[in-house]
Structure 1
Amino acid sequence: MFKILAKINRWLLPSYTRQQLDLSKATKLQKAIIAWKYFVTTRALGQKTSGE
């Protein structure tokens, strides 16, 4: 589930790395988006595939 959600995030949510966003100047919404993407990405990477 998290792998699919991570792919959706890549399409829908902005990439602040490409925009070179300074975290000290980020708004609360931008920080919330960063936190959400981090949460989903770490869960997707930790998820085991059905074949293992």
Structure 2
Amino acid sequence: MKKQLFKTLAKINKVVFPSYSKKQLDLSKATKFQLIIIGWRYYITARALD
């Protein structure tokens, strides 16, 4: 059940949050807010793949 929750959150993240890799965002120039979004997406994706 826990894994299904993370898979659902990953799908929501894909729709709601922007993809910075497609925009070729330079991480050294990213704002704190952008870094938070990147971290959140990574956390959810990593848990959904386990």
Query: What is the letter of the counterpart of residue 20 of structure 1?
Result: Q
TM-score norm. by structure 1 comes to 0.88
The offset of 1:15, in angstroms, is 0.2
Q: Deviations over 1:3-50 (max 9, x none)?
A: 00000000000000000000000000000000000000000000xxxx
Cα-Cα RMSD:
0.2
TM-score norm. by structure 2 comes to 0.91
Q: Distance in 1 between matches of 2:7 and 2:48?
A: 5
Q: Distance in 1 between matches of 2:32 and 2:13?
A: 18
State the match for 1:6 in structure 2. Answer: 10
- What is the number of residues matched between the two proteins? 46
Q: Percent identity?
A: 61
Alignment of 1:1-52 (within 5 A): 1-46=5-50
1:19 match: secondary structure = coil
- Consecutive unaligned residues of structure 2, counting only runs of 5 or more, are none
Runs of 4+ deviating beyond 4 Å: none
Highest Rg: 1 or 2? Answer: 1
More helix by share: 2
